[in-house]
């Protein structure tokens, strides 16, 4: 692992600015296992799923909604567990604006306000991540990711709603997000 990635991992591990459940990016050794040699496209989502649970994009032992929805949006002819592998081979890396798993909100729902506050506190860490990964392009997925990017003054290649939102409420955006990702990676669309 490069020095800048080690610095990023250390920064995430040492951070105690927010209450959190766990640190899935470290727990599942994401930076050791899933970063492509050259990051053509950095996909920035919002946060790991809130609350005391195990689902996470890079935890292949459990089903994950974001992984399943990214598979559907990309139209990939692979199983859900293969999505992170496909992204890595294509030169893409999916991260979150919030690195730690947020506490669950009242009545078992995500607390948008808390997650937004965490993203503001985590913006320095996202800046470290961008510096370490040196992506050619950054694509933001969701309001929380957009908030963090605005704090950093980051100019994104593209901005979309979160994939889970697209699948539930804006399916008409699936083809547009797919096109943005495939074009950024310079690979042909699946037929």
The vertex-94 CA angle with 90 and 95, nearest 5°, equals 155
Q: Are 99 and 125 in contact, with CB atoms under 8 Å apart?
A: yes
Question: 78-84 — which CB contacts under 8 Å span 24+ positions?
Answer: 84/34, 84/57, 84/58, 84/60
CATH node for 3-185: 3.40.470.10
- Written as six digits, the tokens of 167 are 């699948």
DSSP string covering 13-73, please? HH--SS--S--HHHHTTHHHHS--SS-SEEEEES-SPPSS----TT-TTS--HHHHHHHHH
- Written as six digits, the tokens of 179 are 């096109």
22/54 Cα distance (integer angstroms): 10
Per residue of the chain (191 residues), what is the pLDDT tens digit? Answer: 688 999 999 999 999 999 889 999 999 999 999 999 999 999 999 999 888 888 999 999 999 999 999 999 999 999 999 999 999 999 999 999 999 999 876 655 567 888 999 999 999 999 999 999 999 999 999 999 999 999 999 999 999 999 999 999 999 999 999 999 999 999 987 65
Secondary structure of residue 186 in the 3-state scheme: coil
């Amino acid at each position: 692992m490069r020095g800048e990635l080690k610095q990023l991992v250390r920064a995430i591990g040492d951070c105690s600015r927010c209450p959190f459940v766990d640190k899935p990016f470290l727990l599942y050794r994401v930076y050791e296992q899933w970063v492509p040699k050259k990051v053509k496209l950095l996909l920035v989502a919002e946060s790991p799923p809130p609350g005391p649970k195990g689902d996470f994009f890079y935890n292949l032992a459990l089903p994950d909604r974001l992984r399943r929805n990214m598979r559907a949006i990309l139209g990939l002819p692979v199983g859900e567990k293969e999505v992170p592998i496909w992204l890595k081979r294509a030169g893409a890396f999916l991260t979150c604006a919030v690195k730690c798993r947020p506490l669950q909100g009242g009545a078992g729902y995500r607390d948008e306000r808390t997650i937004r506050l965490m993203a503001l506190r985590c913006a320095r860490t996202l800046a470290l991540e961008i510096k370490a990964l040196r992506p050619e392009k950054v694509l933001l997925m969701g309001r929380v990711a957009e908030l963090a990017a605005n704090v950093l003054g980051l100019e994104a290649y593209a901005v979309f709603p979160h994939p889970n939102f697209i699948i539930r409420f804006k399916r008409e955006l699936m083809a547009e997000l797919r096109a943005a990702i495939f074009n950024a990676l310079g690979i042909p669309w699946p037929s």
